Amino acid sequence: MNALDKPQLIAQFSSYAAHVDTAILGKAYDYSIKAHGNQERASGEDYFIHCRCVATSLVEWKMDLPTICAGLLHDVIEDTPTSQETLRVEFGEEITRLVLGVTKLEHLQYSSRDDIQAENWRKMLLATAQDIRVIVIKLADRLHNMQTLGFLPADKQQRIAHETLALYAPLAHRLGMFQLKGQLEDLAFERLYPQEFKELEAKVNAMLATRELTLKKFKDAVGNSLSNTAIAHRILARSKSLYSIYGKMQRQDKPFEEIQDALGVRIITDTVSNCYALLGIVHTQFKPVAGTFTDYISIPKMNLYQSLHTTVMGPGGELVEIQIRTEEMHRTAEYGIAAHWRYKTGEHARDAHLEEKLNWLRQWIEWLQDLKSPREFLDSLKTDLELNQVFVFTPAGEVKALPAGATPLDFAFAVHTDIGQACVGAQVNNKMVKLDYQFKSGDICKIITKKGSAPKKDWLMYVKTARARSKIRHYLREKGIVA
């Protein structure tokens, strides 16, 4: 990546935060250069280049001033003699807290790599519960580490790439940072499966010319069908990442040539009502594929993502996936939570509902803290980061989004802790089911409770969510049933 020098970094920041004093940004830049001195990375480059690259990503994501300063300084406590007290005096409490949030724990007190990894994640997530920007800095740090992975020994490359695929990419996805998720996945894919990566890259490149022509024809056809409307819109072609194509090939057990929705189009408009109006026009002009319509506007994903999804038959018989969204939804889809730190002026105040939107993340982090064993913590983290969801309804029509594989016990605890603890059975679609039943989207679930009933130890085998697991373990520990 092209790291920005100090004038460029300041200029790019000022382009979206014109009224903010950038003196401290210049100071952080110079301080980081001096603190890292003659340190080098495995590539032989000055260590400070890494700090510049992290800050460059944060500016590209339009983060705020303290976050970018912390990106420049993120390794000074861990890798230089600088103390947190010194940093606090020089840069204040907010920037120091962000730097401490991404600083790794000392390794000496842990007996295994799993313990070290779990405790570092636990520490970072605790810091994230206080300030979500900690995760954003850590993701920018991991992106540049993955971009320069080739200079490390092969075993270390494999370990870091695997961790990126298992934890960092799903975390970016969970935070709605889809562009970053794709970058991290493809960088890890290249290291972990080099042969498959090369073969797929060659096939995609070979198809690109044909595909671009097909996409252009389809975009033109969509454009023509919308040209008679007064609805403001723009049309973008979308290409899937190599790893997402590879994942689909594995799941469907199909060769690349048979993957049908490698073609994608986005239609961006100005209002929610126009999203639905455009959907109606598209379905009138092109034959929709049955069972492919999903409305993530009325029921957003847990990571704030909103769009209408539909797949239609293109002019040449090809299947094309269409996503319809507003400009604001598009920004959120590209940058996720990072989109909410954009500086806005005048009538466009900063998102007043951000805290509310991020509440799920804070709750989830609190539940994870209740897991004692490092292995259980990491396994639960990986499960909860998976974003394949099912939508399950209460008898009153309220919808609960749960991870794929969730059971009635997960649903009961999602409704209320008291209902979860008193659960003795469940009806799904008016039929009694076992407590290990795995939901499908659209299921209607009624939880049957009994006064005086209590969680059982074997429930831990049936639950998928950190919330349910945490609540069950808490009860069992209080009763002395588990340690």
List the catalytic residues: 78-79
| Cα atoms in the 13 Å half-sphere on the side-chain side of 475 | 18
Helix locations, 17-112, DSSP H: 23-36, 48-60, 65-73, 76-79, 84-102
How many Å apart are CA 223 and CA 273, to the nearest integer?
Answer: 19
The number of angstroms, rounded, from the C-alpha of 388 to the middle of its chain's C-alpha atoms is 12
Q: Are 415 and 402 in contact (CB under 8 A)?
A: no
Longest dimension (CA), the chain: 70
Other beta carbons within 10 Å of 5: 12
Backbone angles phi, psi at 31, to 5 degrees: -65, -40
Helices 6-16 and 23-36 pack at an angle, to 10 degrees, of: 150
How many Å apart are CA 167 and CA 176, to the nearest integer?
Answer: 14
The 10 Å CB-count burial string (b at 16+, else e) for 94-114 is bbbbbbbbbbeeeeeebeeee
